[in-house]
Structure 1
Amino acid sequence: MIGRRFGVMLYPDQPVGVLVERARWLEGLGFDQIYLPDHSGDLRDRRRTWHDSWLVLAAIALATTRVRIGTMVANQILRPPAQLARQAMTLDHLSAGRLDLGIGAGLFGWDHHSVGEDPWAPKERMRRFADYVSITEGLLRADELMFSYAGEVLWVKDVATAPGCVQTPRPPIILGGQSPTVLRTAAAFAQGWNTHGPPGASDEETLRATTTQNRKLDALAAAAGRDPAAIRRGYTIFGPWDPRWGRHSYEEVFDRFGGIGVSDFVLDWPGEAHQEEFERVALEVIPPLRE
């Protein structure tokens, strides 16, 4: 049986020193992972403070010793795949092999506008995503000095791969999203898949959709010649299942989603109003579930 893991989504919306202290606090509470999102601004209010998540992760890597760190999820809109691979490789070294690399297809039009592009149509975003993950994965895994790839949309030629990653054959890749392309690509390459449910769905609709997608991922992995159990399933606790909404407890979330095959849970940063409950869950509820 796959053991459960519990992470936290940390937002780069505070001074960097504050974010580092929050990361140390989360590590002290025993969380397994700390993730940062990857956008050009705060999706909750883009006028607010927002630091670069990759640089914040570098600071956290140097300030912690045990907790795994990563993106949930790296955004294909904002950087070419070779740059993403280079950043991931460097962070893997800075953290002494504690990187989990989440990758997503990107969504928001304002992320496109930040790099001077019109938003891609959904079909175009998915066409790019399969190549994007293939290039990133290939660069991180490569055992040759130079790497080339020619895909349907994206290509690279003679990209240097030294010094390689600390983790072998490369850091774990977690793909975030719900589209058929994301699931197919996860079945081919990923060590994890993460979802927060369909936008606007109710609690039970989210649970049913995640159940269906889990089963689809099982079938796709088997068709690709992989053991479905080798792909961890994750749920980021947003929306109607968020205990801060007052309808569900963390215990219920862990039980209901664990029952459909989810092993990895990402809790949202609690804020001051919910810190006491968050600490209780970290210290009392989660440790027995890992066992």
Structure 2
Amino acid sequence: MRFSVTFGAVGPARDPRGLAELARMAEDCGWDGVFLEDYLAYQGDTSQPTYDPWICLAAMASATSRIKLGTTVTPVPRRRPWKLAAEAVALDHLSNGRLILGVGIGDPGDPFLAGVGEPTDPRVLAEMLDESLEVITALWTGQPVHHHGKHYQLAGAQLTARPLQHPRIPIWVGGNLLVPAVRRRILRWDGSTAYKGPTAAPQKLTPQDISALRAERNTPLDIKVRLNDGDPTTYAQAGATWAGRWIAPGPRQEAESILRQGPPQLT
């Protein structure tokens, strides 16, 4: 099992320079990955400055050499899929193949969905996510893409830069594990960073949840759980491959204290 921390790019010391320094400390302290929540206005709150997570990830990639980096998760319907595909390739090269792309439908209440005239119906957002992933992975092949979907149309568009990672940059799916479409999406792609239950009152994932998900697929699948779900050893035995700790926005000293503790030891 690998261990990660997750930050929001918001508030003091969580700008690109500050997050690069925290990522370097995480690497030095033995953590295996650092992930960023992907907001333009952090959880809809405008009382503190939010920094673009993709610029922050670029700074973090330049400051580190070992740890995995990624988003948990990028609200793909808020993005043009071809722009996201190109940015991911560039970041994969900058990090020397360490990028993980976490994806989800986004929060329908996000001010940069609802507040700018974008769709907010979860069913439409799910359609856009699934179609976007098909477009993104097709563009990552470096070949011309002809796609005529409900939400996106490409007539031979081509990105000639390809990811370093093979067969592609890993795609981890977020969302509510109890929603059948989310579960199907997880099994279609490369990993899960899903929670369980409504976002307002999420339940703890259990080892049985992990075992059940693992049993539905006979090929490799990364499954990320939260460290506060329970004993990571039990989850590792059930098939989880990552355990992560969310570090709340706040003073830099608090984040540094958590990082210095290092990841837990499996028993």
Superposition deviation, residue 19 in structure 1: 1.5
CA distance in 1, matches of 2:118, 2:162: 34
Which stretch shows the higher mean deviation, 104-113 or 16-25? 104-113
Is 1:127 aligned to residue 105 of structure 2?
no
Q: Tell me, which stretches of 5 or more residues in structure 2 are unaligned?
A: none
Superposition deviation, residue 148 in structure 1: 2.1
Indicate the residue corresponding to 2:192 in structure 1: 193
TM-score, normalization by structure 2: 0.85
What SS is found at the alignment partner of 1:77?
A: helix
Indicate the residue corresponding to 1:177 in structure 2: 175
Superposition deviation, residue 234 in structure 1: 1.0
Contact 2:8 / 2:38 at 8 angstroms: preserved in 1? no
Q: Tell me, which stretches of 5 or more residues in structure 1 are unaligned?
A: 222-226, 243-251
CA 12–102 in structure 1, closer or farther in 2 if over 3 Å, else same = same
CA 274–69 in structure 1, closer or farther in 2 if over 3 Å, else same = closer
Contact 1:187 / 1:217 at 8 angstroms: preserved in 2? no
Cα-to-partner distance string for 1:161-186 (whole Å, 9 max, x where unaligned): 21211112221111111232222122
CA 184–7 in structure 1, closer or farther in 2 if over 3 Å, else same = same
Superposition deviation, residue 101 in structure 1: 1.0
Superposition deviation, residue 81 in structure 1: 0.9
CA 130–15 in structure 1, closer or farther in 2 if over 3 Å, else same = closer
Superposition deviation, residue 257 in structure 1: 3.3
Amino acid at match of 1:192: G
Superposition deviation, residue 154 in structure 1: 3.1
CA distance in 1, matches of 2:25, 2:241: 23
Indicate the residue corresponding to 1:69 in structure 2: 69
Indicate the residue corresponding to 1:264 in structure 2: 242
Output aligned runs, 1:1-291, within 5 Å: 4-13=1-10, 14-43=14-43, 45-109=45-109, 110-114=111-115, 116-140=116-140, 142-144=141-143, 146-178=144-176, 179-188=179-188, 190-198=189-197, 199-201=199-201, 205-208=203-206, 211-212=208-209, 215=212, 218-219=215-216, 221=217, 227-228=218-219, 230-237=220-227, 241=228, 252-269=230-247, 272-273=253-254, 276=257, 279-282=260-263, 285-286=264-265, 288=266
CA distance in 2, matches of 1:214, 1:153: 35
What SS is found at the alignment partner of 1:111?
A: coil
Superposition deviation, residue 153 in structure 1: 3.6
How many residues in Structure 1 have an aligned counterpart in Structure 2?
257
CA distance in 2, matches of 1:113, 1:44: 11
What SS is found at the alignment partner of 1:166?
A: coil
Indicate the residue corresponding to 1:224 in structure 2: none
Superposition deviation, residue 69 in structure 1: 0.8
CA distance in 1, matches of 2:181, 2:214: 11
Contact 1:130 / 1:181 at 8 angstroms: preserved in 2? no
TM-score, normalization by structure 1: 0.78
CA distance in 2, matches of 1:64, 1:273: 21
Superposition deviation, residue 256 in structure 1: 4.5
CA distance in 2, matches of 1:138, 1:214: 31
CA distance in 2, matches of 1:175, 1:201: 19
Identity of paired residues, percent? Answer: 25
